[in-house]
Structure 1
Amino acid sequence: MPDYGHDLRFGSFITPQNGRPELAVELARLSEEAGLDLVTFQDHPYQATFLDTWTLMSWVAARTERVHLSGNVLNLPLRPPAVLARSVASLDLLSGGRVELGLGAGGFWDAIEAMGGRRLSPGQAVDALSEAIDVIRGVWDADERRPLRVDGAHYTVKGAKRGPAPAHDVPIWLGAYKPRMLRLVGAKADGWLPSLGYATPEDLTAGNKIIDEAADGAGRDPREIRRLLNLMSEFAGDSAEEWVERLLPLAVEDGISTFILPGDDPAAIERFGREVAPALREAVAAERAARGVTTGPARPPRALALRRPGIDYDAVPASLAGTAVEPGDREYERVRSSYIWTGSPGLVLRPATAGQVAEALTYARGQDVPLAVRSGGHGISGRSTNDGGIVVDVGALDAVEVLDRGRRLVRVGAGARWGDVASALSPHGLAISSGDYGDVGVGGLATAGGQGFLARSYGLTIDHVVGAEVALADGRTVRADPEHHPDLFWALRGAGGNLGVVTSFDIEATELSDVVFAVFVHDASDTAAFLERWGRAVEASPRKLTPFTTVFPGQQGYSALAQTFAVWAGDDTDAAVAALEPFLEVAPVLQQQAQLAPYAAVVAPHRNRHTGQQGGLRGHSALVDHLDADTSGRLAEMFEQRLLTMVQVRSVGGAVNDVAPGATAYAHRTQNFSVNGVISAARAARAERAWDGLGVTAAYLSFEPRFEDKLLTRAFPPATLARLRQVKAAYDPGNVFRHNFPITPA
């Protein structure tokens, strides 16, 4: 039989004895320490001397960090598939994507029946397992909006809500020996898991043939199906060389790529992980090189048909291929869209290191398709996805590290979410002003500006970036700070998406633990008066107070309502109350509350999945010095004529304007307010004309979903834009990063 080209994995098969319950856990931890990839446990729920396998796996998941876990194999007749699906997904989410699902059709029917299970014939058991796979995959398909319905002979689901989706694409492996079960493996499963004690090498050859034929018949590539094997414990005393001699033919002739060692001998586990695994990997790699075996994940024919022109899929770097997502992959729905826009990229690359980001850029530069870069995907602009192009998703670069507590110096990965950053810094009494929503990604905000809840006391996020690691269009990775590439460092802070991909930021945080967080709801029926009075109250307030407000259509007799979020940067409640009281006078107050809370709670992450749920929302941005009568009146008129469906105002004065206009590429340092208007799709043409009537001269590109030439001069004053074009010529002369808001190289 051919070698299927899968990466080699090694695991242990531990007996879940309950006489010494801690032993199974310690053996699992030892397996991880020895370098094994997988820990598996028998599942015999009717066995009184065993721990419950699922409870044990949950406990082991909490006691380990890296190793993957699976039942070997779970007893389906005593585990309802819909509940099992949610259990697997939940543990996968809690463990960071470390759960696999090994399933068995059942055996030992007397014992199963004694536990309340239903006795099935061999044929019925196979049919039940097939139905169960449909149920499990249906529950995991959280992107499907319709309720799950499966009308099987053994398992029925009548309109169940789907989800949660697992953290990773959980494979389903089947323990199988007979032809019907083997055909089910080929038709539906992701892996075949027999045991040498029950199957001979000849059985492996015959089984692979049946599986491959069934896969072909189901329109699948046989290489989609991993071949796993529980070994014989008699091997335990052999040397590493003897192990390799026995296992090499199984790998290169029978396609086995996951070897699982049974037994509870700590010395054997150590030897298997530290000696046998690396030796066999080396031997298999040499044999594959000699035979010219293609390695890596296989693409099913139906997925190959969805590939997009202009992308050389076979040339994806090996370091990125394992986590890359294409149309047709189960994970595609999770990564294709942003919060605002529904996208359909041809390839999503998910690098895990700065070096891999550089590899991704080098590869993408050679393709004839658009390029987008995503950190969190929550941006209003929607530029973190595309149609038919490549997306480089840096979400895996999410580390948060306090480098120097005395200097308040923090290093943050570009893929981190700001809510997670706040949570990580909270125990240190530190915070970074970072937008107003915890799911926003670090990379986009920390290169564009960063209008956050601490803006008036702290400034923009970019104002405290003191260094960055950047992957450039030519494949280099450089450090940018005042001493290294100072021109690039200047440009990154305000126009970073046009120059490269920042992989990490060094940022000076501020001393902060608790804040006063206030929420007001006003009757904003007199919208112009509300905006003007609210603006005056903001400008008159102490710098420690940063309010944001949103005006939206009212209900129950109110033509318009306004909700204000305000953060007082400190725990002095008396001072906070004094600063907040003037906002009670700007318009009738319908609701009010204020509480002392950690800053991390104010921007807590929600971890929402992005599906373009805002439906291509379109809007415009304006940075204005004051909410004077003219500006407030024009905004109110557009809102009252339903040209705008919502108006948001963020306060960006105070410390933001302490920075010199030329210090960063974000040069707007006189304005006190950032206005964002959401345009009515039904009245778009009139709304555009009315917005131009505001006389906007400055804008924040992160709040501009569509590019127009006039926006560049609003975002960057002439001198700033001229300097940016010079920097662009030096670092991206080929205009690789032209799919952001394009800045033409000088």
Structure 2
Amino acid sequence: MPRTTDTTVLDTLIERIPDRAFGPGTSAYEAGRLVFLGPGDPEVVVRPTSADELAQAVRVAVEHGSPIAVRSGGHGGLPAAEGVVIDLSGLDEITVGDGDLVTVGAGAHWGDVAAALAPHGLGITSGDTRDVGVGGLTLGGGIGWLARTHGLTVDILREAELVTATGEIVTVNAESHPDLFWAIRGGGGNYGIVTRFTFQAAPVGDLVGGHIHFDTSDVGAVLRAWRDVTVASPDTLNSTLMVMPPFGPEMPGGPQLGVALLGTEDELRALLAPLLDLPSVTEVSLGPVAYGDLLESAPPGKPPFRFVGGNGFAPELSDELLGACVEALDSGIPTMVLLRALGGAFTRVASDATPIAHRDAQALVVVNGILPGDATDAQAASALLDLVGPLEFTTGRYSNFTQEYGDDVLAEIYPPATLERLRRIKAEVDPGDVFRGAHHIAPA
């Protein structure tokens, strides 16, 4: 219950956890309120360095009735306009065990994880960029490199420590609090604040990969060849095909394929032969690669564009779907189409094993029109009509790539039975709805 005192939440937090709570005008406050989509204006930023300090922050926020927002890497999500921002950047320790288990603080970044695992020849299915926070990506599912080989980030999660809405610190896994463990593997930050994750890493010493670039002379042929290669290839081949619009003479646009294979370069070139033989190939860069080198640096700050589009899981990479992608690219609006290869280990997980239920997908399809930053809602809505064709061949949405919010969007991310179970668990562990993830799941 909220307090009946005039003491501010900032004052109380400074008293309870000195040197961990920061108000406006401090450098820690300015850093903690920034996210990829812009700055927020919270009452206080808390930067805990332990689970106990984080639990204290949660208890104080609940006492004052202050909204809680969590900042992991700051790469995505909504700016916190008020309340308490809990900045997890102080919880970034990475510990590699004797075997293949690695414990990662929720405030670490994936580039740091890759660097810590490199001397051990290990890797973890992670985000595409070094700067993405471990916590946010994991709780949303974790589609990334090696998803075909080892599954999503949540599929290799073995345990987590989190702070509940009552300020209790609990360890969740398949035996301890199994329902809560199920919910956090795709249910977002709606159930508590995770302080650390334990993942099962995998050997990545024999990794080859790189890029192939194509011109725009026959995009449809590139899409079809990529589809044929993906469907016929072993789980050890992972790839993302992105078709970009031109951005001036130095960035002419066209299909760009990123690949990674656990194997040899000869094996990789043999698998990719249908693509390498296309006359539209302009550049080939393939060879041995470190897992960390697959990760890219995110562009700094908020993009100067407005993106409009969507994403969905494609159960089949049909000619009709690929044709719709070509039509979207020809809509007259600068458009990006991304096809992330799934299948493999991703599909060998039961649809009810995690909240990520669309496990029959062969690919994740993302279509984004790129509009000027000052485009109006009416212009965005009009542009969207020309872009949704590929999404008619998909089901669901991937929450980490979805920047639209509301109950209708939530119903697309989760099938009815999955969402019902998520809401039941929410009612058990957070009936007061203290934690409201970007895609908010209300208690049943």
The TM-score, its normalising length taken from structure 1, stands at 0.54
Determine which of 530, 536, 543 is the counterpart of 2:222.
Answer: 530
Question: More strand by proportion, 1 or 2?
Answer: 2
Q: Does 1:397 align with 2:91?
A: yes
What is the percentage of aligned positions where both structures have the same residue?
39
- The answer to whether residue 374 in structure 2 is matched with residue 685 in structure 1 is no
Cα deviation for residue 431 of structure 1 reads: 1.1
1:430–1:510 CA contact under 8 A, matched in 2: yes
Which of 639, 649, 655 is matched with 2:345 structurally? 655
Which residue number in structure 2 is paired with residue 665 of structure 1? 355
Describe the superposition over 1:327-384 as per-residue Cα deviations: whole angstroms up to 9, x where unpaired. 32234443322223343333221111111121222222344554321211123xx23x
**Contact (CA 8 Å) 2:29, 2:44: kept in 1 or not?**
no
2:96, 2:103 within 8 Å by CA — same for their partners in 1?
yes
In structure 2, the partner of 1:377 is 74
Change (3 A) 1:321 1:569: farther
Counterparts of residues 583-732 of structure 1 (less than 5 Å): 583-585=275-277, 588-603=280-295, 606=297, 611-613=301-303, 617=307, 619-643=309-333, 645-681=335-371, 682=375, 683-693=379-389, 694-695=391-392, 696-732=394-430
Q: Quick one: structure 1 residues 327 and 661, their matched pair in 2 at CA, closer, same or farther if it must change by over 3 Å?
A: same
Describe the SS at the equivalent of 2:241.
Answer: strand
Deviation at 1:547, TM superposition (A): 0.7
CA distance in 1, matches of 2:131, 2:166: 31
CA contact (8 A) 1:568 1:576 kept: yes
- In our comparison, the structure showing a higher alpha carbon Rg is 1
1:108-187 → structure 2 map (5 Å cutoff)? none
Partner deviation per Cα, 1:681-724 (whole Å, 9 max, x = no partner): 44411233345553343110111112032221221111111111
Is 1:325 aligned to residue 22 of structure 2?
A: yes
**Measured at CA, do residues 636 and 363 of structure 1 come closer, stay the same or move farther in structure 2, by a change above 3 Å?**
farther
Post-superposition shift, 1:643? 4.3
**Cα contact 1:415–1:441 (8 A) shared by 2:** yes
Give the distance between the partners of 2:143 and 2:340, measured in 1 at CA. 7
- Check whether the contact 1:399–1:416 (CA below 8 A) recurs between aligned residues: yes
Tell me what 2:54 maps to: 357
Residues 309-343 of structure 1, C-alpha deviations (whole Å, 9 max, x = no match): 99632121545442433332234443322223343
Q: Which whole-Å CA distance do the structure 2 matches of 1:646 and 1:465 have between them? A: 31
- Aligned-residue offset at 1:569: 2.2
Give the SS at the match of 1:504: strand
CA shift for structure 1 position 544: 1.0
Of 266, 271, 291, which aligns to 1:574?
266
CA distance in 2, matches of 1:404, 1:512: 17
CA distance in 1 between counterparts of 2:369 and 2:261 reads 31
Deviations 1:470-510 (A, max 9, x none): 11111111111111100001111111411111111111111
Residue 539 (structure 1) aligned to one of 231, 252, 256: 231
Q: What is the rounded CA distance, in whole Å, between the counterparts of 1:311 and 1:529 in structure 2? A: 62
Contact 2:426 2:442 (C-alpha < 8 Å) held by counterparts: yes
Seen in structure 2, the aligned counterparts of structure 1 residues 618 and 352 have a Cα distance that, compared at 3 Å, is farther
Return the alpha-carbon distance in structure 1 between the equivalents of residues 323 and 354 of structure 2. 32
Distance 1:632 1:347, change over 3 A: farther
Instruction: Give the counterpart of 1:313 among 3, 10, 21.
Output: 10
CA distance in 2, matches of 1:468, 1:512: 24
Equivalent residues of 2:110, 2:132 under 8 A apart: yes
Shift of 1:389: 3.5
Q: Structure 2: 5+ residue runs without aligned partners? A: 1-5
Question: For residues 443 and 533 of structure 1, do their structure 2 counterparts lie closer, same or farther at Cα, with a shift above 3 Å needed?
Answer: same
CA drift at 1:666: 1.1
Q: Helix, strand or coil: the match of 2:42?
A: coil
Give the conservation status (yes or no) of the 8 Å contact 1:644–1:677: no
Residue 521 of structure 1, CA deviation:
1.0
Q: Which of 195, 202, 224 pairs up with 1:510?
A: 202
Q: Conserved in 2, the CA contact under 8 Å of 1:339 and 1:614? A: no
**Whole-Å separation in 2 of the counterparts to 1:350 and 1:642:** 46
**How far 1:593 moved relative to its partner?**
0.5
- Superposed CA deviations along residues 577-635 of structure 1, whole A, max 9, x for unmatched, are 2122222245611111112122123237x5x7964356665552211123322222333
The amino acid of 2:43's aligned partner reads: G
Q: Cα–Cα, structure 1 residues 545 and 335, in superposed 2: closer, same or farther, change >3 Å? A: same
Structure 2 CA distance for aligned equivalents of residues 480 and 609 of structure 1: 35
Gaps of 5+ in 1: 1-308
How many residue pairs are counted as aligned between the two chains? 430
- Which secondary structure state, in structure 1, belongs to the residue aligned with residue 38 of structure 2? coil
C-alpha deviations, 1:56-107, integer Å up to 9, x for none?
Answer: xxxxxxxxxxxxxxxxxxxxxxxxxxxxxxxxxxxxxxxxxxxxxxxxxxxx
Partner of 1:433: 125
Specify whether residues 327 and 634 from structure 1 end up closer, same or farther in structure 2 by C-alpha distance, changes over 3 A only: farther
What SS is found at the alignment partner of 2:183?
helix
> What is aligned with 2:438?
740
Q: Which residue identity is paired with 2:25?
A: G
Q: 1:542 to 1:429 in 2, by over 3 A?
A: same
| Equivalent residues of 1:376, 1:416 under 8 A apart | yes
Alignment-mate amino acid for residue 384 of structure 2? E
Distance 1:685 1:485, change over 3 A: same
1:639 shift after superposition = 2.7
Alignment of 1:190-205 (within 5 A): none
Question: Which amino acid counterpart does residue 355 of structure 1 have in structure 2?
Answer: D
Residue 339 (structure 1) aligned to one of 9, 22, 36: 36
* Contact 1:528–1:629 (CA under 8 A) maintained in structure 2: no
- Residue 3 (structure 2) aligns with: none
Over 3 Å counting, the alpha-carbon distance change for 1:589 and 1:621 in structure 2 is same
Structure 1: distance between partners of 2:30 and 2:250: 41
Partner residue, 1:266: none
